[in-house]
Amino acid sequence: MTRRSPLALAALATAAVPGLDVVATRSPQSTTADFQVTGVLDSGGRHWVVRCPLHASAGASLEAEVALLANLAVQVREGVLPFAVPEPAGFAALPEGGRAMVYRQLRGRPLDLERLGPGPGLAADLGRCLAALHELPVRVVEDAGLPVYDADEYRKRCLAEVDAAARTGHVPTVVLARWERALEDVALWRFRTTPVHGDLAEEHVLVQDGEVSAVISFSETHVGDPAVDLAWLLASAPEECLDAIEEAYALARPENADAHLLDRAQLVGELALARWLMHGVNTANEQVVADAVHMLEDLAEQVTDAEPIGHREPVVVPGRPGDWAEGGDDVPEDAAGAPDDEDADPNSTAELPSLPAEEPAADDTASSPGAAADGGEPSRA
């Protein structure tokens, strides 16, 4: 792993873009386990970003990201995506292999979730932008050589992560049982996979004038569960903003309703603790392991008496005894003769019982207890 100073990254920028005259380094400046990033300023007052991989695997991810960015740029120009994405301006070869990417810095500042407000503003725009990304054709990601999973393949990946975390002995029993139950609940995993960013965070979403202006860092993009992108917002955004995000997202994807999307997003958010634990175990970082164990213990306290993920309260429709009766013996007598709803013609006219000749028709009709059972609207008194 080769780490470079901001000045060394600036030198890569001059090698990547012919004629670029760098005069200073600027934000953003960050280092993760996979990439180093720095901003640079040229003599013409233009801002650029250098993105440099730290190891061979990150280098391979960057190459796939470059191919994806070309496909996404087409979607931006055609108005399908309502936000900008990086457009590489040049590349610089690295002595250890691979290459660094340089692109013009996109307008906007990193999203600050603490300042996010409810209503139809930025919160709703976040929902719409996520929906636009998830509505992209799968081929946009697939043609770039990035991973493609169907619903069951993604479920099995999650199950493998849970199994690995369980083997450490650090996952509380109540949490482990909760995750396993959700992963075995078939109803939760009936969904259409979509393009997924995979690494959304405040620093990867740029905003300007109350709207999302750009999204960056697509190295974890794949076709999979859209709940992955929503999990970050559900876990981090202010609670009073969630309704606006969820409503705008749903309205932008009317043809792809997913009843358990938010349930899986909750699960994905909880599984992040298992991933953090395994990161600590795999890197032999005792501090990370201790941090993960502490958060898992907190989660165990929170969910001990909680309903399972995906739990739904049964819905009883008033006036329909069949929805609440245990068996035929408990059905009220005035409903026993009602026709089966599935066989009834909704456009037919109910046939009224014959009226005795010696009594006025109006009085008999008003007192007939079988009117609803013979096809009229059942009483809701």
For residues 75 and 81, the answer to whether their CB atoms sit within 8 Å is yes
Q: pLDDT (tens digit, 9 = 90+) per residue, 266-298?
A: 999 999 999 999 999 999 999 999 999 999 999
Strand bridging mode 222-224 / 22-31:
unpaired
- Can you tell me the distance from the alpha carbon of 76 to that of 72, in angstroms, rounded to the nearest whole number? 6
The pLDDT value recorded for residue 369 is: 39
- SS3 of 232-254: the string is HHHHHCCHHHHHHHHHHHHHHCC
Q: Residue 249 corresponds to which amino acid?
A: Y
Query: What percent of the chain is predicted at pLDDT more than 90?
Result: 75
Residue 359 pLDDT greater than 80, yes or no:
no
Residue 319 pLDDT greater than 90, yes or no:
no
Query: What percent of the chain is predicted at pLDDT more than 70?
Result: 82
Residue 350 pLDDT greater than 90, yes or no:
no
Residue 355 pLDDT greater than 70, yes or no:
no
The pLDDT value recorded for residue 360 is: 45
For residue 201, give the 3-state DSSP assignment: coil
| pLDDT top residue among 368 and 43 | 43
CA distances from 320 to 313, 314, 348 (A): 17, 14, 20
For residues 189 and 228, the answer to whether their CB atoms sit within 8 Å is no
| 80 CB burial (10 A radius; 0-12, 13-18, 19+) | middle
Q: pLDDT (tens digit, 9 = 90+) per residue, 65-115?
A: 999 999 999 999 999 999 999 999 999 999 999 999 999 999 999 999 988
For residues 295 and 279, the answer to whether their CB atoms sit within 8 Å is no
> 211 - beta bridge partners?
208
| pLDDT top residue among 322 and 5 | 5
For residues 139 and 193, the answer to whether their CB atoms sit within 8 Å is no
Q: pLDDT (tens digit, 9 = 90+) per residue, 54-75?
A: 999 999 999 999 999 999 999 9
CA 187 from centre of chain: 17
Range in 167-181, 275-289, 324-338 with the lowest mean pLDDT: 324-338
Q: Residue 35 corresponds to which amino acid?
A: F
CA 41 from centre of chain: 35
CA 212 from centre of chain: 17
| pLDDT top residue among 360 and 116 | 116
Q: pLDDT (tens digit, 9 = 90+) per residue, 198-242?
A: 999 999 999 999 999 999 999 999 999 999 999 999 989 999 999
Report the first-to-last Cα separation within the chain, whole angstroms: 75
For residues 280 and 171, the answer to whether their CB atoms sit within 8 Å is no
| DSSP secondary structure, 331-360, as one string | S-HHHHTPPPTTTS-TTPPPPPPPPPTTS-
